[in-house]
Structure 1
Amino acid sequence: MSSSASFIFLFLISFLTSFREASAQDPTYIYHTCPNTTTFTRNSTYFANLRALLSSFTSRNASYSTGFQNATVGQAPERVTGLFNCRGDVSLEVCRSCVEFSVNETFTRCPNERDVTLYYDQCILRYSNRNILSTLNTDGGIILYNTQNVTSNQERFKDLLLSTLSQAATEAAGSSRKFDGRKANLTTFQTLYGFVQCTPDLTRQECLRCLQQTINGLPTDKIGGRLVVPSCSSRYELYPFYNESAITVPSPPPTPPPVSAPPRREYSICYLCAIV
């Protein structure tokens, strides 16, 4: 092989490797919680049950197309229950990637705790020795918010934000996959985007209750924020952060008086023990 041909071959290999690495990005980590109140050992029955549970989440038969799966393995007191829930607007491939990544991460972030929740932007993974299925849980949440304040017409911004997210919550609670996204005009050139989601195992009333709590806990004086708890999440931004084509987004209402707030992604974090 000539030197020029060898150079071209090596360039193509390098390009394809870089492209593969760039296209296979890891999910965006948000937060995790695993209280060190109950633990297990690696030779325990609980650990064997947990490995079986996590293996079912990464198997070829896992419910990536629906974005949600729950399971129970073993008998009390070594029983483990768990679930994963992908963000409603992501593709099957993104859901699969996020779940597989979170399963691989769990023993790094929470090596021997029995009660674990891992939050990523694209999915959530939970398991416990307690029954967490079809059970509303708003404990151990996290708030992330943009550091920039709304600088004008704050009351109008707050009213529009809460009404937009409340409408999304009502729609999400009544749907089978328990998520909704929608937008509203702030100015002629600026749009507010909102997204809410519950785990689909909740009832309509439980989902609505969870979303109302997270919406009420959002910082309404900031130009962006989210509140995530084990059973649901609410988020708003001044830029499109979700896949609108995956959601039937209602047309925004007529443009209200202007609110000057340039969208930037500079975030601070507030950790919560409970949302009440």
Structure 2
Amino acid sequence: MSSTSLISFSLPSYALVLILFLALFFPQPLESSSDYATLVYKDCASQTFTDPTKSQSQALSLSSLFQDLLAHSSQSKFFKAVEGESETAISGFFQCRGDISGEECYSCVNELSQMSNTLCSQAMAARVQLYGCYTYYEADGFHETSTSEANLHYKTCGESKAVVDGFAKLRDTAFATLINGVVHNNGFYATSYDSVQMMAQCEGDLGGCECGECVSSAEQIAQEECGESVSGEIYLDKCFISYTFYPDGKPINPHPENGQRGNNNSNGKAAAIVVGGAAALFLGFIFLLLIRSWGKKEDD
């Protein structure tokens, strides 16, 4: 077949080739591993807004509270507010993870307000934890049964067990590094120690010593409850920790809460440059073929 006959392809043929190319080199993005809006747990008070003289005002106060929190979420990772007056006031706060952007924080807090209304409808107090952020609110006069920093809200331990010698010692040494890091880094720390990736965060207004004590309590729970599990997450009143052990020393970040983000940014950028260059060359080739094809049709 001659080159002339190749150029006589119709426009739809070129379009089809272009579509196939774009589908191969620019596939639909997979679900992000940094899905900060994924629910971790919820804790709703059993008491609800049932007093007819207060319930409507309390509901309005709660709505205003979430609007106020959302308004600050793109500029701050932690914010407290009080809405309403006297006996119908609602106080609360949000906190985003220390390693997410303002835009991600805003999206996460926006999801929090919707989830809180759905999951803890009419509750006088609620705590909703997502991977990237959490919120807590309570109505005036409501008191939790426990406000201890060591009050456990949620824990999960990986099903896989470590089969290497010295795992407990390695994990505990990593935990000591985590405590020191979170105390000296404004209440948030994500790092790797040997083959263990870990992260800790304390409530935004918790002091350094209190933060260290809280994280220490979480680590003790992890040691006792998770044992030889290669991963775990512990959420207390004032702090949380997560850790994952990678026997081969190659963390893959299967969950957004595990370890640091962006370890492969340079590789990703290099791949983007290569793919982008190939795309530009191919699109330029298609454009030339289209021009020649149109010119041939006009001559005919």
Q: So what's the TM-score if we normalise by structure 2?
A: 0.66
From 78, 94, 98, the counterpart of 2:104: 94
| Structure 1: stretches of 5+ with no match in the other structure | 186-190, 247-276
Which residue pairs with 2:199 in the alignment?
195
Residue 242 in structure 1 maps to residue 242 in structure 2: no
In structure 1, the residue matched to 2:191 is: 182
Matched, 1:50 2:65: no
1:119 to 129, 132, 138: 129
Cα deviation for residue 125 of structure 1 reads 1.2
- For residue 170 of structure 1, the aligned residue among 158, 167, 180 is 180
Farther off after superposition, 71-80 or 19-28: 19-28
- Code of the residue aligned with 1:234 in structure 2: it is I
Measured in 2, the distance between the counterparts of 1:182 and 1:131 equals 36
Query: 1:103 — aligned with what?
Result: 113
Partners of 1:164 and 1:208 in 2: CA distance: 14
Tell me the number of residue pairs that the alignment of Structure 1 and Structure 2 aligns.
226
**What's the secondary structure of 1:161's corresponding residue?**
helix
Larger radius of gyration: 2
- The equivalent of 1:220 in structure 2 is 227
The worse-fitting range, judged by mean Cα deviation, of 39-48 and 220-229 is 39-48
Question: What's the CA shift for 1:199?
Answer: 1.0
Q: Deviations over 1:53-112 (max 9, x none)?
A: 1001222xx143431111112234222111111111122222111110111111110001
Q: Letter of the 1:163 partner, please give it.
A: T
Change (3 A) 1:77 1:179: same
Structure 1 length-normalised TM:
0.71
RMSD between superposed Cα atoms in Å: 3.1
Aligned-pair distance for 1:21? 9.6
| Contact in 2 for aligned 1:26/1:101 (Cα 8 Å) | no
With over 3 angstroms needed to count, the CA separation of the structure-2 counterparts of 1:201 and 1:110, relative to structure 1, is same
Measure the CA separation in 1 of the matches of 2:36 and 2:200.
23
Q: 1:21 to 1:84 in 2, by over 3 A?
A: farther
Greater shift, 221-230 or 64-73, is seen at: 64-73
Give, as a single letter, the amino acid of the residue that structure 1 aligns with 2:58. Y
Preserved contact between residue 93 and residue 136 of structure 2 (Cα < 8 Å): yes
Which secondary structure does the structure 1 equivalent of 2:210 belong to?
helix
The answer to whether the 8 Å contact 1:33/1:140 transfers is no
Q: CA offset at residue 197 of structure 1?
A: 0.5
CA distances 1:224-261 after superposition (whole Å, capped 9, x unpaired) = 11101231101101334333569xxxxxxxxxxxxxxx
Q: What letter matches 2:134 in structure 1?
A: I
The 2-side partners of 1:204 and 1:179 are apart by 11
- Output the amino acid matched with 1:159: K
CA contact (8 A) 1:161 1:220 kept: no
Aligned-partner Cα distance in 1 for 2:36–2:213: 32
CA contact (8 A) 2:73 2:102 kept: no
Deviations for 1:144-186, whole angstroms, at most 9, x for unmatched residues? 1110111231xx222221222222223312433x11122122x
Partner residue of 1:209 out of 207, 213, 237: 213
- CA distance in 1 between counterparts of 2:242 and 2:97 reads 12
SS at match of 1:72: strand
2:202 counterpart letter in structure 1: C
Residue of structure 1 equivalent to 2:297: none
> CA distance change for structure 1 residues 131 and 74 in 2, over 3 Å: closer, same or farther?
farther
Give 3-state SS (helix, strand or coil) of 1:195's partner.
strand
Secondary structure of 2:88's aligned partner: coil
Q: How does 1:6-21 map to 2 (within 5 A)?
A: none
Residues 47 and 56 of structure 1, relative CA distance in 2, 3 Å threshold = same
Alpha-carbon separation, structure 1, partners of 2:64 and 2:149: 24
